């Protein structure tokens, strides 16, 4: 229960999904967010020129304030991505 525990799942992926899998992923993340405080998706891209995946496009439609999506294209961007995820914490829940 997110009222009793700090539950922070993170999903890191290259976003290389089959397009018909994306709706199911959004459904699962939406259901999971009912049980957690925040949910972070980090998409790993090799190089700065790769376009966003279809999974990122599907996740960008999630409007829940618990959800944060970031793009990571270099190892040095991992820590800032985690900081962005944790910035979404509810101040009451994290107090």
* pLDDT 10s digits, 5-27: 889 999 999 988 888 999 999 99
Dist CA 59 CA 47 (whole Å): 21
Q: Judge whether 47 and 17 are in contact, CB under 8 Å.
A: no
Predicted confidence at residue 87, as pLDDT, reads 87
Q: Judge whether 71 and 36 are in contact, CB under 8 Å.
A: no
Predicted confidence at residue 93, as pLDDT, reads 45
Q: What is the DSSP string of 39-54?
A: EEEEEE-SSS-PPPPH
Predicted confidence at residue 1, as pLDDT, reads 78
Q: What is the DSSP string of 19-84?
A: GGGHHHHHHHHHHHHTTSS-EEEEEE-SSS-PPPPHHHHHHTT---TTEEEEEE-SGGGHHHHHHH
Residue ranges of the chain with per-residue pLDDT less than 50: 92-95
Predicted confidence at residue 2, as pLDDT, reads 79
- What is the longest distance spanned by two Cα atoms in the chain? 42
Query: Global pTM?
Result: 0.83
Collapsing DSSP to helix, strand or coil, 15 comes out as coil
């Amino acid at each position: 229960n997110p009222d009793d525990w700090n539950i922070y799942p993170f999903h890191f992926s290259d976003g290389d999904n089959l397009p018909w899998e994306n709706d199911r992923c959004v459904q699962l993340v939406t259901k999971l967010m009912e049980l957690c405080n925040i949910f972070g998706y980090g998409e790993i891209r090799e190089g700065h020129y790769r376009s966003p995946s279809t999974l990122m496009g599907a996740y960008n439609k999630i409007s829940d304030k618990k959800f944060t999506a970031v793009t990571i294209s270099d190892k040095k961007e991992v820590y800032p991505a985690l900081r962005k995820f944790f910035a979404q914490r509810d101040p009451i829940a994290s107090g």
